[in-house]
Amino acid sequence: MSSDQTLPYTGLRVVEFTHMVMGPTCGLVLADLGAEVIKVEPPGGDNTRRLLGSGAGFYPLFNRNKKSLVLDLQTPQGKEAVLRLIDTADVVSENFKSGTMQKLGLDYETLRQRNPRLIYVSHKGFLPGPYDHRTALDEVVQMMGGLAYMTGRPGDPLRAGSSVNDIMGGLFGAIGVMAALAQRERTGLGQQVQSALFENNVFLVAQHMMQYAVTGKPAAPMPARISAWGIYDVFQVQGGEQIFLAVVSDTQWSIFCRAFSFVDLQADARLKTNNDRVREREWLIPLLRERLQHHSRNELASIFEREGLPFAPITAPHELLQDPHLLATGGLAPVTLPDGERAGQKASTALLPLTLDGARLGVRHDPPQLGQDSMALLTELGYDAATASQLSMPQIGKTQL
């Protein structure tokens, strides 16, 4: 699956007007699957290239396998060039605030008149409705959508430790594009696809909404919930290390007691079934913490792995760069960083978590440097070299879309 010609969406052209995470994730999925994804950047480039702190990894992660075209869409010449490009496209993707694309004359209703086969995917904070005028961020919808409530301790809402709604919103945008492509095969017509942060967040907590519908009881935040399993917790062990251990069936309970010679617990009638052990967690878990604290994390991991019991070391994200499973299975791939102090240096990036015909979808093209494909794309669209050079000349300091 390493060659463009063998990938599912080879020959599909996607023009994206995106920044940050949500829109770029949609393009990443399509690009990894073989589509030619052209990222249209303003003079000076996508501001995401220059983020610091927790945003420093956004651009290099979500923009691999793409091309970069710089155009000033505020000028008639830049606008004409991008319309020429869209005339050759199968998909347009955007995630700017409502009204931006309309002001540029690049909204779906305008573009469908030029290209009826065009599929247009918009990534927004909210689907059309009472909230759609609000400015949304991943953390905003986590707070208003029940996810922060479920993640934090009671009275202490806490956002999830990843841009979960941005990433999944982009995934649902890509799924919508795939559905629209399949329908276009039958009808010959494109359509508009919409994905949104808030609705994505609602889908993430829908299991807790349904729990209330089924039981009549509100779901408790995860740290305070009544677990469905007798043993399902983080244990602090020798040397202050931590490990997550789980025993979720009666068969596993028997294996666990045998492996650690807990004969007394195996024989205790109060602990016969999983539901019994759930009811006895108040004293059972402290007892197990006391008994297991003298083992090392590696020792416990070895025993649980040998016995086929669920376990997990508590791992920081950067430690995954050396994870033996990821390294052995090709889950990480090298990319060249395009921007910043480390521009030109190699880094490892995580690939899409799937295989096709047994192969991972790899990195065919590094995250693009600003405007690196402008000349080639504009020449393809019929511009002579002098005009193409004038159109694509980056102008530092121009504003973002």
Query: 178: burial class by Cβ within 10 Å (0-12, 13-18, 19+)?
Result: middle
Question: Does 52 have pLDDT greater than 70?
Answer: yes
Question: Does 248 have pLDDT greater than 50?
Answer: yes
- Give pLDDT tens digits for 189-241: 999 999 999 999 999 999 999 999 999 999 999 998 888 899 999 999 999 99
Question: Does 401 have pLDDT greater than 60?
Answer: no
- As given in the structure block, the two tokens for residue 358 are 């047994």
Average pLDDT score, the chain: 95
Place 394 in a pLDDT band, splitting at 50, 70 and 90. low
Return d(Cα 12, Cα 298) in angstroms, integer: 48
Question: Does 397 have pLDDT greater than 70?
Answer: no
Per-residue pLDDT, 1: 42
* C-alpha closest to that of 377 among 121, 90, 131, 82: 82
Share of the chain above pLDDT 70, in %: 97
Domain ranges of the chain: 4-205+330-392, 227-316
Nearby residues of 71 by Cβ (< 8 Å), 6 or more positions away: 40, 41, 42, 78, 81, 82, 374, 391, 392
Quick one: CATH architecture of 4-205+330-392?
A: 3-Layer(aba) Sandwich (3.40)
The sign of the torsion formed by the CA atoms of 42, 195, 93, 32 equals positive
Residue 360 DSSP symbol = E
Nearby residues of 200 by Cβ (< 8 Å), 6 or more positions away: 141, 165, 168, 169, 172
Is 227-316 a domain of CATH 3.30.1540.10? yes
Q: Which CA distances in Å does 53 have to 40, 56, 78, 170, 204? A: 25, 6, 33, 22, 26
- Give pLDDT tens digits for 301-352: 999 999 999 999 999 999 999 999 999 999 999 999 999 999 999 999 999 9
pTM of the model: 0.93
| Single-letter amino acid code for the residue at 157 | P
Per-residue pLDDT, 4: 64
Give the Cα-Cα-Cα angle 167, 172, 173 (nearest 5 degrees): 95
- Residue by residue, DSSP assigns 227-250 as -SSSEEEEEE-GGG-EEEEEE-SH
